[in-house]
Copies of this chain bind each other. A is one copy, B any other.
Amino acid sequence: MDTQSRIERALHATLSAHEVAGAPHRLVAAIRHAVFPGGARIRPHLCIAVALACGDDDPGLATAAAASLELMHCASLVHDDLPCFDNAATRRGRPSVQAAYGEPLAVLTGDALIVMAFQILAAAAGKSPARLAPLMSTIAAGTGMPFGIVAGQAWECEPKVNLSDYQRAKTGALFAAATAAGAQAAGADPARWRTLGERLGEAYQIADDIRDVMADPDVLGKPIGQDASLGRPSAAHQLGLTGAIEHFEGLVAGAMESIPNCAGAPRLRALVKMESERLVPKAWCEDAARRVPA
């Protein structure tokens, strides 16, 4: 089965297991809205690519880890869109959960997705029970306190913020968890794979800052210019647009270099290259060079 199918089937199966008689209907619908149709599913793709590179000897566990990461990501998007944060009306080109179902159900959707992210791990640990605790710890560390995406979002509530700390937690943490979890799900040492995730995560956040300035809102699926209007730390504003693009390219190159020598390395390098071009199209780099004085 191809990776995309592994991810989508696992997400469908997890949600379906909770869509039973006696469940509150509107929360069921809000959760499905939060997860389907998805975005690029880049974290689960990365997790499974690393698991494959490490032999993928327990595919069920690797798929569960990938889906778990995606559910955490979806939870964070739903909570980030709440009125008290971005107050976003759209997400992935559709109404955000809070716009479609209201604020109370958006809060509960995020909560339920975080719980579900752990449920899917527990349900898949039958073949390799000893891998469950370290896998949970990795995904929890990428999500919660002190350095996960929840902590990253909390930096927006602090009077003083270090941009690098903020970005490492806000986006980098779950990417680092994705590569580490992919290795752990396949019984491999996660330490060798963490740098790849960290660099990609930082690159992804910077790409997000660049996209917030450069992208067509129809392509982005959400409004542009939010960082500036919400006073959020942004590499595009701190480094300038050309500086941010250069930094992005340096991080992608560093991510490629960090991939350990193994059978799956070419596939992973191709994934990183494709994803980086999707995030920051070459055309933008030329456009930025024209728009902004070097």
Using a CB–CB cutoff of 8 Å, the interface residues on chain A facing chain B are: 18-20, 22-28, 31, 75, 79, 82, 84-85, 102-105, 107-108, 110-112, 114-116, 118-119, 121-123, 125-126, 129-130, 132-134, 136-137, 140-141, 143-148, 150-151, 153-158, 165
Contact check, A108 vs B140: say whether CB atoms are below 8 A apart. no
Contact check, A111 vs B110: say whether CB atoms are below 8 A apart. yes
Query: Which residues of B have CB within 8 Å of A25?
Result: 158
Q: A115-B150, A122-B136, A150-B115 are in contact. Are A158 and B26 (CB under 8 A)?
A: yes
A108 shortest CB reach to chain B, Å = 5
Q: How many copies does the complex hold?
A: 2
Query: Which residues of B have CB within 8 Å of A104?
Result: 84-85, 153-154, 156-157
Q: Can you list 20 pairs linking A and B with CB atoms under 8 Å apart?
A: A18-B144, A22-B146, A24-B154, A27-B145, A27-B150, A27-B151, A85-B107, A102-B157, A104-B154, A104-B157, A108-B157, A112-B150, A115-B143, A115-B144, A122-B132, A122-B136, A125-B132, A125-B133, A129-B129, A129-B133
Q: Which 8 A-B pairs have the closest CB atoms?
A: A115-B144, A23-B146, A27-B154, A24-B154, A18-B145, A122-B136, A84-B103, A122-B133
Query: Which residues of B have CB within 8 Å of A148?
Result: 115
A237 shortest CB reach to chain B, Å = 21
Contact check, A151 vs B84: say whether CB atoms are below 8 A apart. no
